[in-house]
Amino acid sequence: MNALLNRLPGFVRNLQMKGMAGPMLIIMILGMMVLPLPAFMLDILFTFNIAVSIMVLLVGVNSLKPLDFASFPAVLLLTTLLRLSLNVASARIVLLEGHTGPDAAGKVIEAFGHFLVGGNYAVGIVVFIILVVINFVVITKGAGRIAEVTARFTLDAMPGKQMAIDADLNAGLIGEDEARKRRRAVSQEADFFGSMDGASKFVRGDAVAGIVILVINIVGGLVVGMLQHDLDFATAARNYTLLTIGDGLVAQVPSLIISTAAGVIVSRVSTDQSIGQQLAVELLSNPGVLGLTAAIIGLMGIVPGMPHIPFLLISGILGAAAWQMSQPKAAPATDLVPDAAPPVSPENAEASWDDVMPVDVLGLEVGYRLIPLVDRNQDGELLRRIKGIRKKFAQEIGFLAPAIHIRDNLELRPSAYRIVLKGVEVGRGESFAGQFLAIDPGRVSGTLPGTPTRDPAFGLPAVWIEAGLRDRALSLGYTVVDAGTVVATHLNHVITHHAAELLGRQEVQQLLDHLAKAFPKLVDDLVPKLISISALQKVLQNLLTEGVHIRDMRTIVDTLTEHAARVQSPSDLTEVVRTALGRAIVQQIFPGNADVQVIALDSQLEGVLNQAVGAAGEGASLEPGLADTLLRETANAAAKQEAQGVTPVLLVPGPLRALLARFLRRTIPALSVLAHGEIPDQRTLKVTAIVGGRA
């Protein structure tokens, strides 16, 4: 075993040692309650206790959010155990050696009991009680209440936060790894505040134990000193009381520091700044506030009977700081540039091809209040989200969408935006920076004050709320998203819906070039030998129009290579490719091994439709009365399936699929039309309704 450990890398052995540090520390702390310790060791441990408490306070003050110090509840328990163990160890020495003098329990206790309170045990008792009251009544009680309330609200808001993460994941704003990380952070936050609610009882119990130990040590010391060591009452009271007071103070000071750290951790608001930075920015950055404070303190300083020097000194310092902050900063020096030749006025310039501006395939125009969301210099969050949208689109749909050109548009309302496809508006909405959109998914338990609206992407009822109402909205069951997420979700919905129009000839060529890196022979055999790139583009667009992803380009190219020699029509080639992709199409609609619930056609209706298609071919049309009946009954059956939470699917014979898909697409956009040949043999069919007959 030792030989194996010696072969491990150094960092692995370091991790093992770090893992053993915690259990060993706990064992040592518990051992101090039982084993006697010399006075010098007590000095070392008391000093270590004070150092640890200062370290904990500094870490708490410099943490940006509570989870940055997630181990704080455990640290609180360990430091409390350490103080109690030191109290037990010091009480043992005080009772055994207290008759020898004030340094019987070590120099640290002597310093706290003699120098800090002037050797007066009455003063020491008063100081000790004051520290206990501050710690127990003020800091610990307040921190415990904050932790209790925060734990309750955090637990109530967990479902809403999880739904918001799922919404970002579904919209493509984050990846699976980021979603998993956020879910873990939400769970850790609830665990942290729940633990802090209980851990605050440690400090409260420590304060009570300190008072009890103080009384026991004084009474026990008097008994031991007078009965066992024949000391008179005054000498015994002085020795044992000073030692006990020193022992209590040396434990209460670290306890007070730890309690302050707990209060700082649970009471701070999560930002990207530490407590010191927040105070500097929010408290000391306004020269008007500093100047007015300096004036008030200065007036108080000149009032007769007041101590002039302290008031005027502080007033002068604050006034100087306010004056310094109010001074305008010097502009940076710039190099002088000789005057250039006067520019040619636009009216006198000749027209050129440079005046012909190409139309952007995809564009996003925003009002001036949304500019910070898309400004790279201001670290606009929407820019990062758009990159995530394009990446998710490429992974799910199967090709890389064109770049999205973003510009401001002063003709829009300040908080409005619009999405443009090839120069034509395809989406519009409003997003209020600094506010949150609370979307009603259909099961909220209350209402919120704000501006009622509808989610621009899916049309769900929603309300714009202030940032302070976010946690309340989550606890009521709303899905809460910020302004950038609203725009990004709408943009993702639009480009997914218009995927077929985004697939141009250049994108098809790039798709083939990418496939040729892995399968060069496969691409060479198809394009341009058997099919032109424009015909391939039409087949792929037909698939995307009906929501079929084209990630499996190898199967698509294989199928076209097999059939393109005898089938020329892009529509017919699309049906052949759909049959080859049948398993993926069904899996996309019905994930897993769930039953394939479909709407079927009555056999007589199938016969009538087959005759119409057979007689007219691709140009077949339906008789108006038959078309109206088919449309009405299919819409009713699809609505019933949607009400049951099932994607509506119409199952028809292969020759009818293309005709019915084109006919029903505009009226029932949520309906998918599948052919019998597209259903894999392993999947179980379940007919839920029959169009043209009885269900």
At 228-255, the pLDDT tens digits run 777 777 777 677 777 777 777 777 778 7
Query: Which residues 6+ apart lie within 8 Å of 533 measured at CB?
Result: 505, 508, 509, 512, 527
- Dihedral sign computed on CA atoms, order 373, 374, 380, 383: positive
pLDDT at position 333, please?
Answer: 40
Higher confidence at residue 106 or residue 472?
472
Separation CA 678–CA 342 (nearest Å): 69
Residue 349: pLDDT band (50, 70, 90) is low
- Residue of 240, 252, 248 whose CA lies nearest to 102: 240
Is-above-0.85 flag for pTM? Answer: no
pLDDT at position 226, please?
Answer: 76
Fold of the CATH domain 591-695:
Rossmann fold (3.40.50)
Separation CA 647–CA 642 (nearest Å): 6
Residue 563 Cα distances to 97, 534, 678, angstroms: 101, 17, 17
Separation CA 15–CA 360 (nearest Å): 55
At 157-207, the pLDDT tens digits run 777 777 777 767 766 667 777 878 888 887 777 777 777 766 667 766 776
Separation CA 671–CA 546 (nearest Å): 10
Separation CA 219–CA 201 (nearest Å): 27
pLDDT at position 469, please?
Answer: 92
The DSSP H or E segment spanning 462 is strand 461-465
pLDDT at position 120, please?
Answer: 67
Does the structure show a pLDDT above 90 at 499? yes
Residue 12: pLDDT band (50, 70, 90) is very low
Q: Which two tokens stand for residue 560?
A: 């076209």
Separation CA 616–CA 608 (nearest Å): 13
Does the structure show a pLDDT above 80 at 580? yes
Higher confidence at residue 432 or residue 130?
432
Tell me what the mean pLDDT of segment 32-51 comes to: 77
At 53-110, the pLDDT tens digits run 888 888 877 777 777 777 777 787 788 788 778 777 777 777 777 666 556 666 777 7
The answer to whether 200 and 147 are in contact (CB under 8 A) is: yes
At 514-552, the pLDDT tens digits run 999 988 888 988 988 899 999 999 999 999 999 999 999
Token pair 């009251």 in the structure block, residue? 133
pLDDT at position 119, please?
Answer: 59
Which CATH code fits 361-500? 3.40.30.60
pLDDT at position 618, please?
Answer: 57
Residue 555: pLDDT band (50, 70, 90) is very high
Residue 677: pLDDT band (50, 70, 90) is very high
Residue 488: pLDDT band (50, 70, 90) is very high
- How many angstroms separate the most distant Cα atoms in the chain? 125
pLDDT at position 199, please?
Answer: 67
Q: What angle do CA 577, 647, 677 make, to 5 degrees?
A: 30
State the CB neighbour count (10 A cutoff) for residue 110.
21
Does the structure show a pLDDT above 50 at 614? yes
Does the structure show a pLDDT above 90 at 480? yes
pLDDT at position 118, please?
Answer: 61
Separation CA 644–CA 599 (nearest Å): 14
Of the listed ranges 207-216, 400-409, 566-575, the one predicted with least confidence: 207-216
DSSP letters for 553-605: HHHHHHHHHHHTTT---HHHHHHHHHHHTHHHHHHHHS-TT--EEEEEE-HHH
Give the domain ranges of the chain.
1-28, 33-280, 286-323, 361-500, 591-695
- Dihedral sign computed on CA atoms, order 333, 337, 339, 344: negative
Which strands sit side by side in the sheet containing 362-366, from one edge to the other?
Answer: 404-408, 362-366, 416-421, 424-430
Separation CA 232–CA 78 (nearest Å): 40
DSSP letters for 115-181: ITTTT-HHHHHHHHHHHHHIIIIIIIHHHHHHHHHHHHHHHHHHHHHHHHHHHHHHTTSS-HHHHHH
Helices 553-563 and 505-518: angle between axes, nearest 10 degrees: 100
Q: Which two tokens stand for residue 458?
A: 């899916």
Does the structure show a pLDDT above 60 at 616? no
pLDDT at position 2, please?
Answer: 43
- Residue of 534, 553, 544 whose CA lies nearest to 501: 544
Tell me what the mean pLDDT of segment 653-671 comes to: 89
Query: Which residues 6+ apart lie within 8 Å of 333 measured at CB?
Result: none
Residue 341: pLDDT band (50, 70, 90) is very low
- Residue of 284, 214, 283 whose CA lies nearest to 246: 214
Separation CA 626–CA 623 (nearest Å): 5
pLDDT at position 90, please?
Answer: 75
Mean pLDDT of the chain: 80
